[in-house]
Chains A and B, each alone.
Chain A
Amino acid sequence: MTQQQSRTAALVLDKASVAYGHIPVLEELDGTVASGEAVALIGPNGAGKSTLIKAILGLVPVVRGRIEVLGTTPAQARRDVAYVPQADTLDPDFPVSVEQVVMMGRYRKIGWLRRPSAADRTAVAQALEQVGLSERARHRFGTLSGGQRQRVLLARAIAAQPRLLLLDEPFNGVDAVSQHALLDAIAVLKRQGAAVVVSTHDLSIAHLACDEVCLLNHHQFGFGPTEAVLTPERLRATYGGHALELRGDRVIVTQT
């Protein structure tokens, strides 16, 4: 990586507002994520976390302000951006092996017709190694546990060798072993210089894996270093009237 690249911000939100048709979802977001850093998107369900991820992918329009990804527009940056969906949104009956799923991360480099090269196969093997599922390569995707499936999807993203990684609620319903494997793999990607955006409910994850936090609930309730932003006051403001219910949540309790 050149010096100039390492200095450029991977993601810039500049008074960005995002809308589905006429319905505004997110307003006036401001913040920067540097290469090699991770930011956690935190907010209640329906706060617009997934929408922000889609806007960074260029799949939902920015209606005001600007989102800059890797120094260009979201749509143009897509080649260097990898997206990890929630594993449980995928059909477990689909006849596809773990290895084939990870190979999908290479499709952009392989193209439509060429056979996968030795480099592609190596990248797939290494990505599976990184999430600790090498021995499951030939198993059908649907036969794995939810957490393992999530790791396979992360391996798919790793195989694409992205400069920006977007993860949508990757820790939802994931077992402890898989959570560790996911966190380790994310840490490796960060060390290699990739920027990471991860939406989560889990504040302990934000502490463990992320340098920065973006508190979201249609508006931005804070964006900055994890320790500075994750304060009880700000969380209460973000979660609004739901703050009391959240006291019952295992995760929030550790914060108050």
Chain B
Amino acid sequence: MSLIEPFHLPFMARALVELVILGMLAGTVGVLVLLRRLAFVSDALTHTVFPGVVIGYMLGDEDGVFWGALVAGALTAVLLTVLAHRRRVSEDAALAMVLTTLFAVGVVLVSRRTAFTSDLTQFLFGRVLTVTQEQLVQTAVVTVLVAGLLAVLRRPLMMRTFDPEGAAAAGIRVGLLDLVMNVAVALVVVAAVQAVGTILVIALLIVPAAAARALSDRLVVIVPVACVIGALGGWLGLAVSYEASVYHGLRLASGGTVVLVLVVLYGLAALAGAVRKRVALGRVRLTAPELETPELEMTR
């Protein structure tokens, strides 16, 4: 299997650049999603961005998709932040209803079009091989924007993620920070819509971060490793789907293949992580047994 040859084709080269950038972006933001346990937010976004994509497409064709997704994503980010800070459990059911309703609106709108199935597939699972130069630029701009945001806010974000009460006590405006964070996740989903669709983007957010977390306990290592795994998943996934389609007559959807490759990478990372823990534990036992002795806990 060639990892380079397929990308001499211009459309494959564009797809590669798109997925590598996206992989790095989603990898970075994914670490925060993982640590904040924001998987639900990502999930909610996939439901609400979908009708935005459809409406954007109906109003402005291919160019409208990004802006439709952006409006829907931003609205969702605001809505979720407000709801999270109200903390009403009874609203969970209402929220789930709103999300599926919005998703259904998207499906109904698409179903009115003649090319129903192909359109639906495109919106849900993306079409990375037809990514244009312009979309590449959009993805790059979003990436620079989000990466800059995270770099500037890294200390308050870390404090808020680790200890929300302590962060508020230290004068950090937690509500505002949560809104910024939700918008960042929304931006990743929006950027990924064209390439991998609204559904598979969850994998792009969660899997590289989880794999990197398995490999290290240090944030300065986890973030770059998640970046690399995200980019690697895009590259290998594309190469595999190309190889299978061109040489083995097996048509593999590129978005889905990317996700499956990521899951394989996660499996390897989890394995390596388990080995690493064993080794580390053995070393501690050998060198400093007293460190592992817990202090007496006072019983009440």
Q: Which residues of A contact B (CB under 8 A)?
A: 57, 59, 78-79, 81-83, 85, 89-91, 94-97, 100-101, 104, 107-108, 110, 112-113, 140, 145-148, 153, 156, 160, 166, 173-179, 250
Given A90-B163, A95-B217, A95-B218, the answer on whether A175 and B171 have CB atoms closer than 8 Å is no
Known: A59-B169, A95-B222. A146 touches B162 (CB 8 A): no
**CB-defined A-B contacts under 8 Å, sample of 5:** A104-B162, A107-B159, A112-B152, A112-B154, A175-B296
Interface size on B, residues (CB 8 A): 29
Asked if B176 lies at the interface with its beta carbon under 8 angstroms from chain A, I say: no
* Residue pair A112, B169 in contact (C-beta under 8 Å): no
Q: Does B166 contact A (CB under 8 A)?
A: yes
Question: Which residue on B lies nearest to A135, using beta carbons?
Answer: B291
Q: What string of 1s and 0s marks CB contacts (under 8 Å) between B243-286 and chain A?
A: 00000000000000000000000000000000000000000000
Residues of B whose CB lies within 8 Å of any CB of A are 35, 152-156, 158-159, 161-163, 165-166, 168-171, 213, 216-219, 222, 294-298, 300
Inside 8 A of B295's CB, which chain A residues have their CB? Answer: 145, 147-148, 175-178
Are B170 and A107 closer than 8 Å at their CB atoms? yes
Q: What A residues does B171 contact at CB under 8 A? A: 78-79, 108
- For B153, list chain A residues within 8 Å (CB): 112
Let me know if B217 and A140 touch, CB within 8 A.
yes
Task: Give the distance in Å from the alpha carbon of A205 to the alpha carbon of B161 in the complex.
Answer: 31
Determine the chain B residues whose CB is within 8 A of the CB of A108 once the complex forms: 170-171
Closest to B222 in A: A95
A104 to B162, CA, bound (A): 10
- Contacts of B218 on A, CB cut-off 8 Å? 95, 97
B-side interface mostly: helix
| Identity of the chain B residue whose Cβ is nearest the Cβ of A94 in the assembled complex | B162
User: Are A94 and B35 closer than 8 Å at their CB atoms?
Assistant: yes
Q: Report how far A252 CA is from B296 CA in the complex, Å.
A: 23
Query: Which residues does chain B contribute within 8 Å of A173, judged by CB atoms?
Result: 297-298, 300
Q: Judging by beta carbons under 8 Å apart, are A112 and B298 in contact?
A: no
Residues on B with beta carbons closer than 8 Å to the beta carbon of A83: 165-166, 169-170
Task: Say yes or no: B219 contacts A95, CB within 8 Å.
Answer: yes
Residues of A within 8 A of B162 (CB): 90-91, 94, 96, 101, 104
Residues on A with beta carbons closer than 8 Å to the beta carbon of B155: 104, 107, 110, 112
Alpha-carbon gap, A97 to B298, bound state (A):
25
CB atoms of A57 and B169 under 8 A apart: yes
**Cα–Cα distance between A201 and B211 once the two chains are bound (Å):** 43
Min Cβ gap B203→A in Å is 21
Task: Give the interface centre of B163, B168, B213, B296 by most chain A CB atoms within 10 Å.
Answer: B163
Residues of B near A160 (CB, < 8 A) are 170
| Distance between Cα atoms of A104 and B155 in the complex (Å) | 8
- CA distance in complex: A140, B297 (Å): 20
A104, B160: Cα distance in complex, Å: 10
A148 to B: closest C-beta gap in Å: 7
Q: Tell me which residues across on chain B come within 8 A of A174, comparing CB atoms.
A: 298
Task: Give Cα distance in the complex from A82 to B170, angstroms.
Answer: 7
B298 touches A94 (CB 8 A): no
Residues of B within 8 A of A110 (CB): 155
A146 CB, min distance to chain B CBs, angstroms: 7
Is the beta-carbon distance between A175 and B169 smaller than 8 angstroms? Answer: no
Shortest Cβ distance from residue B35 to the other chain A in the assembled complex, whole angstroms? 7
Taking CB atoms, residues of chain A closer than 8 Å to B222 are 95
Q: A94 with B296: in contact, given A78-B171, A110-B155, A112-B152 (CB under 8 Å)? A: no
Cross-chain contact A104 with B168 (CB below 8 angstroms): no
Which residues from chain B contact A166 at a C-beta distance below 8 Å? Answer: 169
CB distance from A173 to the nearest CB of B (A): 7
Distance in Å: Cβ of B195 to nearest Cβ of chain A: 29
Residues of A with C-beta under 8 A to B35: 91, 94-95
Complex: A199 Cα to B170 Cα, angstroms = 19
B168 adjacent to A59 (CB under 8 Å): yes
Q: Tell me, in angstroms, the Cα distance from A138 to B298 when the chains sit together.
A: 26
B294 touches A145 (CB 8 A): yes
Assess the B156–A112 pair: CB atoms within 8 A: yes
Q: What residues on B are CB-neighbors of A89 within 8 Å?
A: 165
Given A81-B169, A174-B298, 15 other A-B contacts at CB below 8 A?
A: A78-B170, A78-B171, A82-B169, A83-B169, A85-B169, A95-B35, A101-B162, A104-B155, A104-B163, A108-B170, A110-B155, A147-B295, A176-B295, A178-B295, A250-B300
Shortest distance in angstroms between B151's beta carbon and chain A's nearest beta carbon? Answer: 8
Chain B minimum-CB-distance residue to A177: B295
* A85:B163 contact, CB within 8 angstroms: yes
CB of B216, distance to nearest CB on chain A (Å):
7
> B296 and A176: CB pair below 8 A?
yes
Identify the 10 closest CB pairs spanning chains A and B, nearest first: A83-B169, A175-B295, A177-B295, A95-B217, A78-B171, A175-B297, A57-B169, A140-B217, A85-B165, A107-B155
Q: Can you name the residue of chain A whose Cβ is closest to the Cβ of B172?
A: A107
Give the residues in chain B near A178, CB-CB below 8 Å. 295
Q: Identify which of B158, B161, B165, B168 gathers the most chain A CB atoms within 10 Å of its CB.
A: B165
